[in-house]
Structure 1
Amino acid sequence: MQRRFLILLFSLFVLGTLAACGTQSKEDVVKKLEKQSEEMAGYKTEANMKMKTGKAEQKYHIQVWHKKDDFYRVKLNSDKDEKGSQIILKNDSGVYVLTPALNKSFKFQSEWPQNTSQPYLYASLLNDIKADDDAEFTTSDKYYEFKTKTNYQNNKTLPYQKIFFDKKSYQPVMVQVFDQDMNALVEVQFANFAKDDSLKKEDFDVDKNMAMAPTEAPVANMEGQELEEVLYPEETFGAELAEEQEVKTDDGKRIIMSYAGEKNFTLVQEKAEVEAASALFSVQVNGDPVQLEGGVIGAMENNRLEWTQDGTTYQLASDELTKDEMISVASSIYNGDMVK
């Protein structure tokens, strides 16, 4: 009898120990995530992103390379513009946004990606979790889930996110970004996340990355084209189109729109110019790269925003719109049918 009792007591002890070992607290998981980040020499991953912040859902594919400590290569392709990819590079000389189709690059004096949330970067997700003392933590059969505040410097309309990590590998699986009403407006699905020790500094070189994508540069197809469509923003913050000018240029025409109202702004659009490969240089920007809808990265500097989409270069300038408002105006050009 006593022997049976001891066996039962031992069994209960073992079961209790196993149960305790299988229960991970928020602190335990964060420590595991930190350890994995510290031990990774680098990683490669792919992700699909859906954005529902406008009238039409935007989809694009993202490829991420990261080398410890601060080297990044993020390639973005919109589903609607497969050849018009952009690449965000961070190396030991700065932050760059490359548009291989135009042989064009911007160089930023920026703290990217540390200064803002990036839902497709492992370190950014971990930083957001650690920065939020009120982060909520739950578990399911397959995932560890964190609900945290976001840190979007140029977009305050997406304040929350849910981050899902695989319970076995501690690798990111999905990120959902929410508005104030907890509507999921952005979703990132990760695939093929793999540690990679083979990445070298040369993999993050500007010239090498511009040369890596010759098939993506439809230079011949763009030469001689003129601006065919004039697009108009849906979001104007109460301003109305007061004047529209068409100016002849060597490459076709430039459209200059002046909007007047409580907050005035000017929008310029013209055919994107393909830079000669022999004259390749990076335009210096004292500002930050900003993400617009449709997988487009723009260059924001003071009161001016420049970006390229579907073979057209846009410039938006205003002394009265905030950065958030300028991004909203720029993004709204692609929300539905804006052709006048």
Structure 2
Amino acid sequence: MRRITWVLAIVMSVAILVAGCGKKDATAVVQDLDKVMSKLESYAGIGTMTLHSGQQPLEYRVEVWYQNPSYYRIELKNEKKDITQIVLRNKEGVFVLTPSLNKIFRFQSDWPENQGQVYLYQTLVRSILSDNARQFTADGEDYVFEVAANYQTDSLVRQKIWLNKDSYAPKQVQVSDSDSKVIVEMKFNQFDFGKKFEQDSFDMQRNMTSMKNAALPNTTVEVDKLPTGETKETNAQVDNSEHPDSTEPSSGTTEGTGSETTGSDAGANDRSNDEAELGPFGIIEPSYLPEGVAKKDEPAIPDSKEHAVVIRYTGTYNFTLMESRPKDMETGLPVGEGLNLGFTVGQLSGEEQKALTWMYDGVKYRIVSADLPTAEMVKIAQSLVDQPGK
């Protein structure tokens, strides 16, 4: 009888030991994540991002590529409006590309190193590693972390991150405000480490031309069919007004300051036709305003070649919203701080008087204010996305 009891005790002990094998606690997972980050060379992911900050949710198809040390390509597509923008970082700077409209928004910044992005793996892992008060649970095939959010805005305070147990690939992210309301949600349906990219996969000119032809050829990343845009190439004039010292030609577009363009007369005719097709866009007003803020006036800008409009607001905060449709292919800005707007990346500049500038659907927006908080600027920018011109 004693022998049977001892045998049962040994069997139960082994069973408990086996059951415990393979289970990891938060410390072990964090150590593994630190190792993954130290060896991270490249990745590619596809998913859907939803912004719940406005009256209606805004949904974007997101495709993200990363190549060590600091090459990024993020494609953001608004399925509802069929608008695709590419945020690109390479050794030449940061670009926001709108290939279908042949528009390039360029600025010098260390984005995204200076801020978090919900669709970037580095952002998610660093937030886990840096939060000593992190909460951890194992849920089926996933590890789930709840940690502090770090997205350059006080309105986003917590985030919940789901990671695959086997590969530590991200599966889902929910970012919440102080009332525990989910404001940003990212769901990955594909994420692969160690992707091999062609040498020019992060080249600005290649991304502009290849997107017009509906695909990026010769890449090992499997993606859905990309949207089709214009197939003709436009040798448009580059705006160097904010870079007066620039004398280098932009890739295949212009030489010198932009007063003379390379290309044929047919290219010039294409530019004229494109500009005629775009024309005025009306006045696009935000659907969101901070409490206590009201529209003041709309100072007229007569004979504006860029169809520029100005709207001034006053009240709790005072700010000016400027909108224009640049004719030039490339719009450059001085050095500033990249700011994630969700649907694209803008540039925040200035100290006493701040200016947030971004490009979307061929329209250049600029909010200028001495007292409007950055978080409110972001909300106003997001509320302009689905607004029609009046």
Matches within 5 A, 1:154-303: 155-215=153-213, 217-218=229-230, 222-224=274-276, 225-233=278-286, 234-249=288-303, 251=305, 253-273=307-327, 275=329, 283-292=332-341, 295-302=343-350, 303=354
Shifted more, 59-68 versus 265-274: the winner is 265-274
Quickly say closer, same or farther: Cα 1:81–1:285, change in 2 above 3 A.
Answer: farther
CA distance in structure 1 between the partners assigned to 2:159 and 2:310 by the alignment: 38
Opposite residue 242 of structure 1, the aligned amino acid is K
CA distance in structure 1 between the partners assigned to 2:367 and 2:302 by the alignment: 19
Cα drift, residue 164 of structure 1: 0.4
Asked if the contact 1:237/1:263 (under 8 Å) is kept, the reply is: no
Opposite residue 275 of structure 2, the aligned amino acid is E
Cα drift, residue 322 of structure 1: 2.8
Tell me the TM-score normalized by structure 2. 0.76
Quickly say closer, same or farther: Cα 1:252–1:45, change in 2 above 3 A.
Answer: closer
Asked if the contact 1:91/1:201 (under 8 Å) is kept, the reply is: no
Q: Secondary structure at the match of 2:299?
A: strand
Quickly say closer, same or farther: Cα 1:229–1:80, change in 2 above 3 A.
Answer: farther
Q: Secondary structure at the match of 2:21?
A: helix
Opposite residue 148 of structure 2, the aligned amino acid is K
Asked if the contact 1:50/1:187 (under 8 Å) is kept, the reply is: yes
CA distances 1:46-67 after superposition (whole Å, capped 9, x unpaired): 0101111110110001111111
CA distance in structure 1 between the partners assigned to 2:37 and 2:106 by the alignment: 29
Opposite residue 50 of structure 2, the aligned amino acid is K
Quickly say closer, same or farther: Cα 1:228–1:113, change in 2 above 3 A.
Answer: closer
CA distances 1:22-74 after superposition (whole Å, capped 9, x unpaired): 32100111222233333443111101011111101100011111112322211
Aligned pair 1:311/2:362, yes or no? yes
Q: Secondary structure at the match of 1:137?
A: strand
CA distances 1:100-132 after superposition (whole Å, capped 9, x unpaired): 23331312222x223222111111100000111
Quickly say closer, same or farther: Cα 1:252–1:22, change in 2 above 3 A.
Answer: closer
Opposite residue 319 of structure 1, the aligned amino acid is A
| Matched residue, 2:220 | none
Higher relative contact order (CA 8 A, sep 6+): 1
| Matched residue, 2:372 | 321
Q: Secondary structure at the match of 1:11?
A: helix
Asked if the contact 1:97/1:289 (under 8 Å) is kept, the reply is: no
Q: Secondary structure at the match of 2:32?
A: helix
More strand per residue: 1 or 2?
1
Stretches of structure 2 that go unaligned for 5 or more consecutive residues are: 214-227, 235-269
Quickly say closer, same or farther: Cα 1:184–1:261, change in 2 above 3 A.
Answer: closer
CA distance in structure 1 between the partners assigned to 2:197 and 2:18 by the alignment: 39
Quickly say closer, same or farther: Cα 1:77–1:319, change in 2 above 3 A.
Answer: same
| Matched residue, 2:237 | none
Aligned pair 1:132/2:186, yes or no? no
Stretches of structure 1 that go unaligned for 5 or more consecutive residues are: none
Q: CA RMSD in A?
A: 2.6
CA distance in structure 2 between the partners assigned to 1:119 and 1:161 by the alignment: 10
CA distances 1:264-313 after superposition (whole Å, capped 9, x unpaired): 222122335351xxxx5x624322222335x1332222222222333332
| Matched residue, 1:97 | 96
Q: Secondary structure at the match of 2:145?
A: strand
Opposite residue 193 of structure 2, the aligned amino acid is K
Quickly say closer, same or farther: Cα 1:3–1:201, change in 2 above 3 A.
Answer: farther
Q: Secondary structure at the match of 2:308?
A: strand
CA distances 1:180-238 after superposition (whole Å, capped 9, x unpaired): 11111211110221123422553222222223222455587853132243122231553
Tell me the TM-score normalized by structure 1. 0.86
Asked if the contact 2:87/2:344 (under 8 Å) is kept, the reply is: no
CA distance in structure 2 between the partners assigned to 1:287 and 1:119 by the alignment: 21
Cα drift, residue 262 of structure 1: 4.1
Matches within 5 A, 1:80-119: 80-82=80-82, 84-100=83-99, 101-110=101-110, 112-119=111-118
Opposite residue 316 of structure 1, the aligned amino acid is I
Percent identity among equivalent residues? 29
Asked if the contact 1:46/1:61 (under 8 Å) is kept, the reply is: yes
